[in-house]
Structure 1
Amino acid sequence: MNLPKRLHLFQAYGVELEYMITDRETLDIKPVADLLLRDIAGYFTNEVVMGNVVVSNELVNHVIEVKCATPTSDLFELNHQFITAIDEINKLLLPYNAQLMPGSMHPWMDPQKETELWPHGQREIYEAYDRIFNCKGHGWSNVQSSHLNLPFFDNEEFAALHAAVRILLPILPAISASSPIVNSGFSGFLDKRMDYYLRNQRKIPAATGKLIPERVYSRRAYSQRIFNTIAAQIKPYDPEGILEPVWVNSRGAIARFDRGSIEIRVLDIQESPRMDLAIHSLIIAVLKLLVKEHFQSLHEQQKIETDGLAGIFKQCIKHGPDTAISDHAFLKQYGYENVESASANEIWKTLFRIVKELYPALINPWQNEIEHILLRGTLSQRILKALSDNYHHDNIKMVYCEMADCLAENQMLQPWAEDITL
C-alpha cells in the first residue's frame, strides 16, 4: 500500500483484502487470476486500477487482492468502492464459471496437488520463495488475509504507534479468526491460518521472529535488530540477492519506513468488506485510545515483553474470544488492575464500550457489524455453528456457498437468529 509522504497518525488508512477464485459450482480453486487481470487491463499485468480500487496478483494464481488506490480516511465510502469492484470482478469471472470466495483458508484445497504460482511478471521473486520455503503447503498457498496500513510521520509517531500495535496484536484473532476448517475438517484452531503462518518460515527464524515485533521504537533500532538479522540469515539461501529483508519480514505487524506506515498482517479475511472494515475501524479506535495513553503511559506500553505477548497470541489463535488471559502485565494495559483473569472477548467488549463513546463518528457506522462479532462470535465460530459438527463435503460446501453469497451481497454470515444483547 503506497502511502504518500507524509501522513500523520490516523490521518488516512490503507486497506488490502485477499480473496480466493473458485469454481461457481464445485467451489474448487480456479487458478485464473492472471486471466482476470488480463481481461481487465487488456494485457497480462500484476495489477490494474479499477475505479478507486487496485486489483493485483498474489503468490498463487487462484488468489487476488483488492486494495484502495490511495489512503483514505473514509472507510464507509471505501466499503462501497470495494463491493462495486467485487461485483465487477465476479461478472468478469463468469466466462470461467468462477467467482470470488471469502475465508482465510479453502476448506478442502490440497496444496501439494493444486498450487499454481503466479506465472508472469516478478515471478522470479515467487520462485525464490518457493525454492527456499517450498510454497506448496497450506501456510503459503492456502491463506487469505486483510491488511490494515497505519501511517506515522516520524520516529516519535512510529514509537507510539508501534508500542500500541504490539500490545493489541495478541487479541486480534479473537475478533478476526475465519480459518477453522482445513483438509475438510475442524483444525482444532479458530485461526489455523496464523498457526501455519507461525511455522512456515522456520528455515529463516528472523523472518517471523516471535510474530509479535521486538521492543524497537526507532528506524535505526528496527534496521539493526530486524532487517539486518533477516539479511544475514537469508543470504546463504538467496546468493543472488533477489529477496529484500523488508519483503521477508513477516512479523504480525511490519514497519515500512519507505512509506511511513505500519502494516497489520494477522487479520483473517472476513465474509464481506463491511465486516473487514468494521474490524479495521474498531482496531483504529482502540489504537487511538492506546496512543493517547488512556490506560497506561507510553513508557509502560513500551516495557511489555515480547514473550508474554506471543504466548497470549498463540492461545488466541486456538481459542479466539474464549481465551482466558491471566498475564497481569498485559491486563494492566487495558485497565484490568485487580482481576485474576479476563477473557479476550471481555476485553473487546470493554474496549468497544469505551471507543463507542469516545469516537462515535468512527464506530457508529459499524456498530451492528461489531456487535454481531462480539455477540455471535468470530466468523470461525459462526462457520462451526453452521456446520454443527457435520464435516461431510456437501455440508461444508453449503456453508462456504453461503459465504460466497455473503461476499457478493456484502452481508454477514448469520447461522442463528436468537436475540443477544451486550
Structure 2
Amino acid sequence: MEAIKPTKTYSLFECIGIELEYMIVNRKTLMPAPISDQLILRKIGEITDELVNGNISWSNELVLHVLELKTTNPMPGVEGLSHDFHQNILEINKILEPLDAQLMPTAMHPLFNPIKDVKLWPHERNEIYSRYNQIFDCKGHGWGNLQSMHINLPFANDEEFYLLHEAIRHIMPLIPALTASSPIFDGQKSEILDNRLAFYEQNQKKIPSIAGKVIPESVANKAEYEKVIFKRIFEDIAPYDKDKSLQHEWLNSRGAIARFDRNAIEIRIIDLQECPAADLAIAEFVVQALKFIIPHIKDHNPIDEYELYGIYRLALEKGGKSMISNEEYLRIFDMDKEGKVSIENVWKNILKHVYLADDKKAIIEYILDNRNLSQRILGNLKGKEWSDENIKKEYAVLVDCLKENKLYELR
C-alpha cells in the first residue's frame, strides 16, 4: 500500500521510513489466516486500508493474511523503532488471540498453498488488486507468500537522487546474502536461499519491463528515469490497462524504486527477519553502507544492471560464501587488489568502516558469523526428518522470537 507522504522535502539521509510485512497465521496450525480486515475492525470498529497507531501505522496488503506495519511519519533514524514495532506486534497478537491467530515472521511461509491460501483484499482500493489479478493471476507464491522490509530514503534534488540511486544500485547485489529468510516453500528445502526474491522477479514476466533486472538501470536524474523506466513500463502495460488505473510510480517493481511523489527511493529486496531488532539493525547497516560507498561512487562509472544482476543472483542463490571476481565492482569497496572476494567479506569490510550502535553491531556480527536466517533455519533442521511437523516446530520457534523480539540462533 501507499506509504504516507511527508509534508516536506528531506535531504540525503535526513530521515528514514521503514515498512515491515507480517503473515497472520493460526496459533495451532501455523497456517495462513486471512483475517487482516477482522483485525482492523476489532482495533477501530471499521474496516479501512490504513490506520494510525502512534509512531507506527497498520495497513492492508494484496492478500488478507498479510498486514503491513510502517512508520507513520519520516523518522530521523532507526533508534527506538525496534521497540515501537515490537509493541505494535504485541498489541496485534493480543487482538488476534480470540481469533486463534498470531503474527509470523520470515519472508515466506514454508507450507503455503498458493492455490488454496490466496484470498485477495476485498475492501477499499480492491479494484487495483483485481486488475493485477486479471493481468498476472495472483495465485502464486510471488504474490501471496512474500513478506519483506522496505527502507525509504529521501533525496532533495536531482544531484542527491543520482548519488542515492547509484549507491543503492551498487549495494543491492550484496543484500540477499545478508538478509535471506525464505529457504523453504511447498514444504521442500530449496537449492536457493532467498526464494522470495526468486519468485519476485518472475511475478510479472508477462510484462518484463515492470521488474526489469530487479537492479534498476543507471539514470542521471528524474527526467531520464521517466524516459528510461516509466515510459517503457506504461507503454507495455497499456494494452492491459485501458483506463490507465495502473500507470503510476508504484507499478514499477524493480528491487528499488524511485518515488518522486515523495522524493524518496524505496529499497524492496530485504527479506523480513525473525524480529524487529534484526530488521532495524539491518536497515541501519544498509544505510551506513550506502553512506560509506557514496564517495567511491562519485569516482567510478556506473556498473550496468546486467553485471550487478550476476552478483545479486549469486547472493540470493548461495549466500555470503559466493565469490565476486568483478574488479570494477570490488574497487568501489577498495578490495580490487585481492582477486576474488566473498560477499561475506565485502560486508565484513564495510562493517569495519562504519559506525553502528553496540546492540545493532552485535546483531550484524552474529549474522555474518552464523550466516543469514535462511541458512540458520536450514542448519537447525539438518539431521531431522524432513516433515511438515518438524518444519512447523522450527517456525514456532521463529514465532516466539517475534513475540520476544530476540534473535533466532543457530543451535
Pick the TM interval, shorter chain: over 0.9
Moved over 3 A (4+): none
**Per-residue displacement from partner, 1:50-107 (whole Å, max 9, x unpaired)?**
1221000000000000001011123121111111110000000011100000010000
- In terms of mean alpha carbon deviation, does 182-191 or 262-271 score higher? 182-191
Distance (whole Å) between structure 1 residues aligned to residue 255 and residue 117 of structure 2: 27
Displacement of 1:245: 3.6
Query: What is the correspondence of 1:188-203 to structure 2 with a 5 Å cutoff?
Result: 188-203=191-206
SS at match of 2:201: helix
Q: 1:233 to 1:408 in 2, by over 3 A?
A: same
Number of the residue aligned with 1:401 = 396
Number of the residue aligned with 2:348 = 349
Query: What is the correspondence of 1:326-405 to structure 2 with a 5 Å cutoff?
Result: 326-355=325-354, 359=355, 362-390=356-384, 391-405=386-400
Equivalent position amino acid for 1:336 in 2? M
**Per-residue displacement from partner, 1:328-382 (whole Å, max 9, x unpaired)?**
1111111112122111101101110111xxx3xx443411111111111111011
Query: What is the correspondence of 1:70-85 to structure 2 with a 5 Å cutoff?
Result: 70-85=73-88
Q: 1:263 to 1:184 in 2, by over 3 A?
A: same
Distance (whole Å) between structure 1 residues aligned to residue 180 and residue 27 of structure 2: 24
1:36 and 2:39 aligned: yes
Equivalent position amino acid for 2:319 in 1? G
Q: In the alignment, which of 66, 70, 85 is matched to residue 67 of structure 1? A: 70
User: Structure 2 unaligned runs (5+)?
Assistant: none
Displacement of 1:297: 4.4
Number of the residue aligned with 1:420 = none
Contact 2:297 2:332 in 1 (8 A): no
Distance (whole Å) between structure 1 residues aligned to residue 298 and residue 46 of structure 2: 50
Query: What is the correspondence of 1:60-139 to structure 2 with a 5 Å cutoff?
Result: 60-139=63-142
Contact 2:292 2:350 in 1 (8 A): no
Distance (whole Å) between structure 2 residues aligned to residue 244 and residue 85 of structure 1: 33
- In terms of mean alpha carbon deviation, does 309-318 or 242-251 score higher? 242-251
1:231 and 2:234 aligned: yes
Displacement of 1:299: 4.4
Number of the residue aligned with 1:8 = 11
SS at match of 1:406: helix
Query: What is the correspondence of 1:193-342 to structure 2 with a 5 Å cutoff?
Result: 193-291=196-294, 293=295, 296-300=296-300, 302-342=301-341
SS at match of 2:344: helix
SS at match of 1:349: helix
User: Structure 1 unaligned runs (5+)?
Assistant: 417-422
SS at match of 1:411: coil
Q: 1:88 to 1:124 in 2, by over 3 A?
A: same
Equivalent position amino acid for 2:395 in 1? Y
Number of the residue aligned with 1:24 = 27
Contact 1:3 1:151 in 2 (8 A): no
Equivalent position amino acid for 1:344 in 2? I
Q: In the alignment, which of 116, 140, 144 is matched to residue 143 of structure 2? A: 140
Number of the residue aligned with 1:419 = none
Contact 1:282 1:363 in 2 (8 A): no
Q: In the alignment, which of 36, 46, 49 is matched to residue 49 of structure 2? A: 46
Distance (whole Å) between structure 1 residues aligned to residue 230 and residue 299 of structure 2: 24
Distance (whole Å) between structure 2 residues aligned to residue 349 and residue 4 of structure 1: 37
**Per-residue displacement from partner, 1:179-213 (whole Å, max 9, x unpaired)?**
00001111111100000011111111110011111
Q: 1:16 to 1:297 in 2, by over 3 A?
A: closer
Displacement of 1:244: 2.3
Q: Give the TM-score, by structure 2 length.
A: 0.97
Distance (whole Å) between structure 1 residues aligned to residue 297 and residue 267 of structure 2: 22
Distance (whole Å) between structure 2 residues aligned to residue 232 and residue 245 of structure 1: 12
